[in-house]
Amino acid sequence: MSITLNPYLGFVGNAREALEFYRSVFGGELTVSTYGESQASEDPAQKDLVMHGQLTAPGGLTLMASDGPAGTEPVTESSITISLSGDDAATLRGYWDGLAEGATIAEPLVVAPWGDEFGMLTDRFGTAWMVNISAAPSA
């Protein structure tokens, strides 16, 4: 048996744009289903909104997202920060650079007191990210 935990991001009308941006950062395959394609809404204004989108990127990264149905407000009682971590410094720095385009940088990606490179940002779509690049082990 296995269990997978994936972030599922909610947007208000710009899920497709956000998912395309994340695909430009992470690569991978993007699938998108709209409310119109699934006939989940009879409202013509919703036909092109994302009912479900999934980005499956190399290295086991999966992001899912959708646009909330018209008239719904995004959930604001909770928040989430997506954390990327590991020892593949080049890949993680590339992700950081891509996500940083148009982002608000809370903490630049620099060596932290614990020895790893660490940074925090909120991307241009309002999603918070942390990147932690493990320090090379001492010889």
For the stretch 70-107, pLDDT in tens is 566 665 667 889 999 999 999 999 999 999 999 999 99
In this structure, is residue 139 part of a structural domain? Answer: no
- Regarding whether 62 and 13 lie in a shared domain, the answer is yes
32, pLDDT greater than 80: yes
The boundaries of the domain holding residue 96 are: 81-133
What average pLDDT does the segment 24-40 reach?
Answer: 90
pLDDT at 44: 77
CATH of the domain at 124: 3.10.180.10
- Regarding whether 96 and 54 lie in a shared domain, the answer is no
19, pLDDT greater than 80: yes
In this structure, is residue 28 part of a structural domain? Answer: yes
Three state DSSP letters for the chain? CCCCCCCEEEECCCHHHHHHHHHHHHCCEEEEEEHHHHCCCCCHHHCCCEEEEEEEEHHHEEEEEEECCCCCCCCCCCCCEEEEEECCHHHHHHHHHHHHCCCEEEEEEEECCCCCEEEEEECCCCCEEEEEECCCCCC
What's the pTM value of the predicted model, to 2 decimals?
0.87
124, pLDDT greater than 90: yes
Total domain count for the chain? 2
In this structure, is residue 125 part of a structural domain? Answer: yes
